[in-house]
Structures are given as structure tokens and as C-alpha cells.
């Protein structure tokens, strides 16, 4: 099975986990970015608003997405939801080819239908190693 890791990040936690997973799978890692500035306190408020109200953004990938069987898509959780950039990316690919990995401080993604799998890396639970190992085992 040919995998690619795709991620969106605001403060780099998700990037670190994405790179770790890509290294274990010896596969390419692709970053999704958007046209907004989410930095600082105002960026935080705007991010929460965009995510909770389902607003769209324009996205770019830093590499071409081609030649894969399944994707590991990593994203932070924003206001209990998938942030706009990740959501826009997910619209372009079939849900049943996506292993979704959400990073968060304390909560889990509620809307989990349709994906190949959904995992939650939750800071308060310190479960990163366990979740990553379980995911990698399920792919093996």
C-alpha cells in the first residue's frame, strides 16, 4: 500500500507528528497552507470563528498529490471541528482513503463519519505515542 502524509498546522505540533509518521512509513509528507494569517491572539479568534462557522479558504499544497492508495491526514482541532484548510483539502479526496489524525488540547472530533479511520492525539491525555503506534500497526 502506498501512503502519503498530509498535514495542516498553526503552531507546529501537527507538523512534528506528521513528520514522525512519514518517517516511520518512509513516505512523502505534504503541507497544506491557506491564504489567511492565523498568528497571534487575533489570528486565534479568527481561526475559531472561521472553523465554527464553516467558512472556506483557498489552499495550496507544497508538493503534488499523486500516486497514493491511502492518505494519513493530520490536523489540529479548531473549535471542535476540522479547520477550514483541512476541510478544503478533504473535499478533494475520497473520505474512505483517509486516515484522519486530529491533535487537540482536550477534546475529540465529533463528526467522524466516512473516514477509513479517525484518531485523536490529545495533550491532556498524553496519548501521542500510543495513538501513533496503534495507527502504524493498523496500516502494517
Ligand X SMILES: Cc1cc2nc3c(=O)[nH]c(=O)nc-3n(C[C@H](O)[C@H](O)[C@H](O)COP(=O)(O)O)c2cc1C
Q: Which chain residues interact with ligand X by CB under 6 A?
A: 9-14, 44, 47-48, 76-80, 103-107
The grid cell for 33 is 497552507
In angstroms, what is the minimal distance from the CB of 47 to ligand X? 4
Compute the half-sphere exposure of residue 64: CA atoms within 13 Å on the CB side of its CA.
2
Please check whether residue 32 is in contact with residue 9, taking contact to mean a CB–CB distance below 8 angstroms: no
In angstroms, what is the minimal distance from the CB of 131 to ligand X? 12
* Alpha-carbon span 37 to 133, nearest angstrom: 33
* Alpha-carbon span 53 to 16, nearest angstrom: 28
Which residue number, 10 or 36, has a Cβ lying nearer to ligand X? 10
Which residue number, 110 or 140, has a Cβ lying nearer to ligand X? 110
Which residue number, 1 or 41, has a Cβ lying nearer to ligand X? 41
In angstroms, what is the minimal distance from the CB of 2 to ligand X? 25
Which residue number, 67 or 106, has a Cβ lying nearer to ligand X? 106
In angstroms, what is the minimal distance from the CB of 1 to ligand X? 26
Please check whether residue 117 is in contact with residue 138, taking contact to mean a CB–CB distance below 8 angstroms: yes
Please check whether residue 73 is in contact with residue 98, taking contact to mean a CB–CB distance below 8 angstroms: yes
Amino acid at each position: 500500500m502506498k501512503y502519503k502524509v498530509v498535514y495542516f498546522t498553526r503552531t507546529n505540533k501537527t507538523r512534528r507528528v506528521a513528520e514522525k509518521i512519514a518517517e516511520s512509513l518512509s513516505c512523502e509528507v505534504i503541507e497544506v497552507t491557506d491564504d489567511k494569517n492565523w498568528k497571534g491572539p487575533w489570528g486565534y479568534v479568527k481561526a475559531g470563528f472561521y472553523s465554527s462557522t464553516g467558512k472556506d479558504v483557498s489552499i495550496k499544497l507544497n508538493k503534488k498529490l499523486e500516486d497514493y492508495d491511502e492518505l494519513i491526514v493530520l490536523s489540529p482541532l479548531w473549535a471542535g471541528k476540522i479547520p477550514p484548510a483541512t476541510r478544503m483539502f478533504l473535499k478533494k479526496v475520497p473520505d474512505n482513503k483517509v486516515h484522519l489524525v486530529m491533535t487537540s488540547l482536550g477534546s475529540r472530533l465529533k463528526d467522524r463519519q466516512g473516514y477509513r479511520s479517525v484518531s485523536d492525539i490529545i495533550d491532556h491525555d498524553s496519548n501521542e505515542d500510543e495513538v501513533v503506534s496503534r495507527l502504524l500497526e493498523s496500516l502494517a
